[in-house]
Structure 1
Amino acid sequence: MPKHSHHPDNCLVFAHRGANTEAMENTRNAFDKALGYAIDGIETDVQLSRDEVAVLWHDRFLNKIGLDDKRIDDFDYHQLQALINPKSTSEVIMTLQDFLAAYRKRCRLLIEVKNRDWEPISRHELKIRQTLDLIGQNPEQRIMASSFNLASLVYAHQYKPAFPLVYNFETHQTIADARQLLNTHAFLHGLCLPIENLDHAIVDVLRDHGKCVAVYTCNSDTEINKALQLGVDILISDLPHKALMLRDQ
């Protein structure tokens, strides 16, 4: 058993890009459907349009609308509005500003900043500043930011030292990486681990450092129960209704 006992009831269930199996991910429809299940939080993704508007979109490319070779930053915001479900009232592309206005008071939020390898560092930093500026005051730390790009989180900490920042682990990273990271980047609020990497040992390392333990993406009964039994703080799922049922039963 892990050294630090956390009861499964204390685990917060976050909807991964909303209820994305029921509606187009990262849209108002997906978020509203997720909130219909009394979830604790929403995880979403931020990128910048070509004209530097922060919008919610996960993929590297616009493959979901048939533009496999085009990216969000190939288009201005008004062009994206015309491309992505323009006739819908609830599944159009959403700005981060509109998302925050609609949901920050309704649940907790985990906002992943998608900083890509092909972007210049200046654009990475702009995306961080825009995200944190739009969030603004966050006294109860109900909103966290995350990224797979560690340098972006270092910059975010320099920009707003008190803001809770979560580093997203890749599947190839190990417990040794976690130990080193927590020793060199003590400002991190926590780590978000792939469910494949989650075990007693890495949970204990995070608990020893007083850090938040988040895990993605838990969809099967086995994955959800594993996360619950190991006492994670945040469980991110494409099937939030299933995660809530297993947590609360």
Structure 2
Amino acid sequence: MGTCMFAHRGLSAQYPENTLAAFQAAADAGADGIELDVQLSKDLQAVVIHDHSLERTTTGTGFVKEYELQQLKEFDAGSWFAPPFANETIPALADVLTWAKGNQLLLNIELKGQVWERSQLKEAVLPLVFEHELQERVIFSSFDHRLIYEIQKQEPQLETAILVAAALHEPERYLRDIGVRGYHFRVPFLLQEEAVRLQQHGVQLRPYTVNDPYWVEMFVKWGCAGLFTDDPVMALQLRKKYEG
């Protein structure tokens, strides 16, 4: 397959992000996987939304953590993007995992809770993945590297990755210390020579968020394990062109 193309928050260039409509559109477009963001509701349920506050992508106000799951589901999570999507709601992670049983997509679940919510977030998310028997298709990532370390220690069979928004010094040593294979780096904080060295150490490189065709083609040529893009249709076309 080469470089796996992950639809960032679903097919978010054309659909409201982190909704089932965006995820289904990504599947229909031929994406290899989807990326989604997960945090906790007031009643400690795993919900799929990027921002900690509700205003940008829903009709709600205030913070996600101030509402229980059923209250969050009452908000419109689509009309901000375009009126035809007014019926879209904030999905529970369980809703997305149930949907994913009907396809073969990889699922990159970015964990976005506060650092003091680590244990609660793990307890809300990990059992769901095993209940839906999707552990072979899930990658957990987070900017909270301590959380990723704890998940890796608890469930070493799961694939995990750290998210970074800077150029790290000797990231291969850091990854080895954590015991994690996935390195999800922000474009453009990596040189090709550094990428080669990381790949020689067995690191899975997946840059984000790659929407420029120049960068897509470059990362495919580098042999990155995957990349995250708002426009997987474009990315898939470029991969096909390069890989034949």
TM class by shorter chain equals 0.7 to 0.9
1:95 shift after superposition: 0.7
User: Bigger shift: 201-210 or 106-115?
Assistant: 201-210
User: Bigger shift: 219-228 or 49-58?
Assistant: 219-228
Matched, 1:80 2:76: no
Q: How many residues align?
A: 232
Alpha-carbon contact 1:198-1:227 (below 8 Å) kept: no
Give me the whole-angstrom Cα distance separating, in 1, the residues matched to 2:87 and 2:160: 29
RMSD: 2.1
2:114 alignment partner AA: R
Equivalent residues in 2 for 1:8-47 (5 A)?
10-47=2-39
**In structure 1, what is the equivalent of residue 142 of structure 2?**
147
Kindly tell me: are residues 78 and 245 of structure 1, through their superposed partners in 2, closer, same or farther at Cα, counting changes over 3 Å? same
Runs of 4+ in 1 over 6 A off after TM superposition: 86-89
- Per-residue CA deviations over 1:74-118 (Å, capped at 9, x if unaligned) read 11112111223499686211011110111145111111111235x
Alpha-carbon contact 1:195-1:227 (below 8 Å) kept: no
Matched, 1:101 2:98: yes
- Aligned sequence identity (%): 26
**In structure 1, what is the equivalent of residue 109 of structure 2?**
111
Give me the whole-angstrom Cα distance separating, in 1, the residues matched to 2:207 and 2:88: 27
1:218 alignment partner AA: V
**In structure 1, what is the equivalent of residue 124 of structure 2?**
130
Give me the whole-angstrom Cα distance separating, in 1, the residues matched to 2:36 and 2:143: 14
Select the residue among 218, 222, 230 that pairs with 1:238.
230
Equivalent residues in 2 for 1:31-70 (5 A)?
31-64=23-56, 65=58, 70=62
1:135 alignment partner AA: V
- Per-residue CA deviations over 1:148-180 (Å, capped at 9, x if unaligned) read 10110111123212211111111x232x15133
Kindly tell me: are residues 61 and 36 of structure 1, through their superposed partners in 2, closer, same or farther at Cα, counting changes over 3 Å? same
Give me the whole-angstrom Cα distance separating, in 2, the residues matched to 1:40 and 1:24: 19
Q: Bigger relative contact order, structure 1 or 2, given CA contacts below 8 A and separation 6+?
A: 1
Structure 1: 5+ residue runs without aligned partners?
A: 1-8
**In structure 1, what is the equivalent of residue 159 of structure 2?**
164
1:199 shift after superposition: 2.3
Kindly tell me: are residues 104 and 201 of structure 1, through their superposed partners in 2, closer, same or farther at Cα, counting changes over 3 Å? farther
Give me the whole-angstrom Cα distance separating, in 2, the residues matched to 1:196 and 1:25: 23
What secondary structure does 1:82 align onto? coil
- Per-residue CA deviations over 1:184-227 (Å, capped at 9, x if unaligned) read 12x21211111211321221232122121111100011221121
Query: Normalising by structure 1, what TM-score?
Result: 0.86
Give me the whole-angstrom Cα distance separating, in 2, the residues matched to 1:81 and 1:105: 22
What secondary structure does 1:162 align onto? coil
Give me the whole-angstrom Cα distance separating, in 2, the residues matched to 1:128 and 1:53: 11
2:93 alignment partner AA: L
Give me the whole-angstrom Cα distance separating, in 2, the residues matched to 1:164 and 1:108: 11
Select the residue among 194, 204, 209 that pairs with 1:202.
194
Structure 2: 5+ residue runs without aligned partners?
A: 80-84
**In structure 2, what is the equivalent of residue 213 of structure 1?**
205
Select the residue among 174, 178, 183 that pairs with 1:181.
174
What secondary structure does 1:165 align onto? strand
